[in-house]
Amino acid sequence: MLSKKAKYAINALVYLAKNKEDGPILIGTIADSENIPQKFLEAILLDLKNAGIVNSRRGRSGGYYLLKPPVEVNMADVMRLMDGPIAFLPCVTYKYYERCEECKDEETCGIRDVFLQVRNQTVNLLKDATLEEIINREVNLSNPGNEKE
């Protein structure tokens, strides 16, 4: 299940992507608009800033803004940053691999093979789910006759 931290991060990123033309956006504005506790959002945005996804500017015209184009920010990266591994088993994770204690032979483990396939398909879907894709889907869902061919 997606944690609140990951969900809030995605909501904040979508908000920043939708409002990228407005320049830096104050944390309070994002928090109010997306119904995210401001203190929690501060920690999330700091993690996103340290990962090079957003940046901030101080001062009167300060706030947070996307550092990468919306097409380059995908849900697999955001979820790994906020929640760690995407896979259900430690032996099939990408960045957080651990051998299963009870496993006799990874090469012939049917359980591992099934969950590796699940992980691969899940990660591919999440990599395709960029901020741009999410915004496009929202537009299409709001205007059913407006789908792109």
Given a contact cutoff of 8 angstroms between Cβ atoms, the answer to whether 54 and 16 are in contact is yes
Q: How far is CA 133 from CA 48, 83, 144, in A?
A: 19, 21, 16
Q: Which residue has the tokens 């500017």?
A: 57
The structural domains of the chain, ordered by start, are 4-66 (1.10.10.10), 74-129 (no CATH)
pLDDT of residue 99: 85
Dihedral of the alpha carbons of 42, 44, 47, 51, in degrees to the nearest 10: -120
Q: What is the pLDDT of residues 100-109, one digit of tens each?
A: 888 888 888 9
pLDDT of residue 59: 81
